[in-house]
Structure 1
Amino acid sequence: MSPTSPARDRLLKAARELFYADGYGVSIDAVTERAHVAKPTVYAHFKSKDELIGTMLTLACEEWFTELNAELERRDGDPLAQLLAPFDLLAASLPDPAYHGCILVNSAAAFLSADHPAHHALVTHDERMSTLFERLAAKAGAAKPADLARQLLVLYDGVKARGLVDNTGGAARDARTAATALLQSHSGTRPRKGPVTM
């Protein structure tokens, strides 16, 4: 079967919806029922449930970076606004009463083994975010962009954790304010203000 077949796409969509809403204990039978495919179809595309999970998480990660890169392009020419873009996107996705946390972080809590595809997906995501934050921090004038990038990643992950108990978007806005202050402390100057909202 084609790796981009409609059945495979439906399986990934169903898996993402069910695992996010109900956790990773959801059975393959439930996924196939939601996707309207026969159970053998799963194993025609994925070697195991774990591989399905890993592929689904990788796809979720790619979708995030596609959205983020598009927003960075819209903010081209404004380094501070670009640095704050991840926090603005998180704030824009809230409030959401159905928010159950970050699907990548949730998977790391569910699968503790470093060998699990979920762990690999989360590590890859964080490495990409760290690299991106470092590049944006350098453009925004940070004296030590690698240090600032690590601090911004803590804020970024913290927004997703706080969203579990506060889905108003307030945590993202607070993180945005903290990120601006961090950049100021790293550059020694007051950064030019970016857009208050997206």
Structure 2
Amino acid sequence: MPRTSPARDRLLKAARELFYAEGYGVSIDAVTERAKVAKPTVYAHFKSKDELIGTMLTAAGEEWFTELDAELDRRSGDPLAQLLAPFDLLAASLPDPAYHGCILVNSAAAFLAADHPAHQALAVHDERMLALFERLAANASAARPSDLARQLLVLYDGVKTRGLVDNTGTAAHDARTAATALLHAHADASP
């Protein structure tokens, strides 16, 4: 189990803020300065900058799923509303001039090696989203839940990628409309 401490939490928060705003050229010194910890504290918690990045991305993904699970609970009993929840959450805080895409997608694009922790974090996130979309599609009576789940994942990832050039939330609203149309098409399709 990972060690938790206020210093570790501050490091993860500082890393997330700086890497998202400025990219991965940000030095560990800048992260420690923002977190108000000594440099050795980083290496007491993380073996390397890459491990810090991977841990930070995993934490960001967990934060998303915690928020999404709470939203799904609020929409309990309404399968269509639950299926659309990820798109609604993506749009909820937009427009935001500081938003420039998903930190997981951006990080995987920044590190081209497939074995980098950024790729692993994105892969885990997308696998979880795919499984969730499949469950939600089945609950919404889609004829082929796994097909619909893959299509919804493409829409979901597209919204996050569009954030690089459009921070208005329009893409999330468009994806929500497309997701509704896909669900209706899958509900009308025979198995």
Question: Under a length normalisation based on structure 2, what TM-score does the superposition of the two structures give?
Answer: 0.96
Aligned to 1:54: 54
| Structure-2 separation of matches of 1:50 and 1:100 | 22
| Post-superposition offset of 1:149 | 0.3
| Structure-1 separation of matches of 2:90 and 2:49 | 29
Give a deviation string over 1:92-135, Cα, whole Å, max 9, x none.
12100001210000110011111111111000000000000000
Moved beyond 6 Å, runs of 4+: none
Aligned to 1:119: 119
| Structure-1 separation of matches of 2:162 and 2:48 | 32
Verify: 1:136 aligned to 2:145, yes or no: no
Verify: 1:80 aligned to 2:80, yes or no: yes
Verify: 1:67 aligned to 2:58, yes or no: no
CA contact (8 A) 2:143 2:187 kept: yes
Give a deviation string over 1:60-99, Cα, whole Å, max 9, x none.
0000000000000000000000000000001112100001
Q: Paired residues, what number?
A: 188
| Structure-2 separation of matches of 1:139 and 1:55 | 33
Give a deviation string over 1:120-157, Cα, whole Å, max 9, x none.
10000000000000000000010100000000000001
Aligned to 1:164: 164
Alignment of 1:9-24 (within 5 A): 9-24=9-24
Structure 1 residue runs of 5 or longer lacking an equivalent are: 190-198
Aligned to 1:155: 155
The secondary structure found in structure 2 opposite 1:72 is helix
The secondary structure found in structure 2 opposite 1:15 is helix
| Post-superposition offset of 1:161 | 1.3
Structure 2 residue runs of 5 or longer lacking an equivalent are: none
Aligned to 1:145: 145
Verify: 1:43 aligned to 2:51, yes or no: no
Q: CA RMSD in A?
A: 1.0
The secondary structure found in structure 1 opposite 2:81 is helix
